[in-house]
Structure 1
Amino acid sequence: MAAMWKTAVISGGGSGLGLRMAEECLSAGGKVALLDLAYGEAALARLTKAAGGNLEGRVWRYQVDMRQGEAVTRAAAEAFAALGRIDLALNSAGVQHVGEFENISEEQFRRVMEINVMGSRNFAAGVLPYLQEGAQLALIASLAGIVGTYGYSPYNASKFAVVGLAGALRLECAPKGICVSCVCPPEVETPMVEEERRMSPKATAKLKEFAGTLQVEPAVREILEQLLERRYMVIPGARARLTYRLAGWFPGLLRRVSDGIVRKALAS
Structure 2
Amino acid sequence: MANSINQIQQLKQIRDQMTRFMMTYKFGLDEINTKLQILQEEFQHFHDYNPIEHIKSRIKSPESILKKMYRKNLDISLESIRENIHDIVGIRIVCSFISDIYRVSEMIQQQKDITVISCKDYIKHPKSTGYQSLHLILSIPVFMSDREEHVYVEIQIRTVAMDFWASLEHKIYYKYNKVIPDHLSKELTDAAKVASDLDLRMEQLHNEVNHIKAQEGEDNDLQLLKIANESFALPRKLLESFIKETK
TM-score band, normalised by shorter chain: under 0.3
The structure with more strand, counted as a fraction of residues: 2
- Please give the TM-score of this superposition, normalised by the length of structure 2: 0.25
Q: Which has the larger radius of gyration?
A: 2
- Please give the TM-score of this superposition, normalised by the length of structure 1: 0.24
The structure with more helix, counted as a fraction of residues: 2
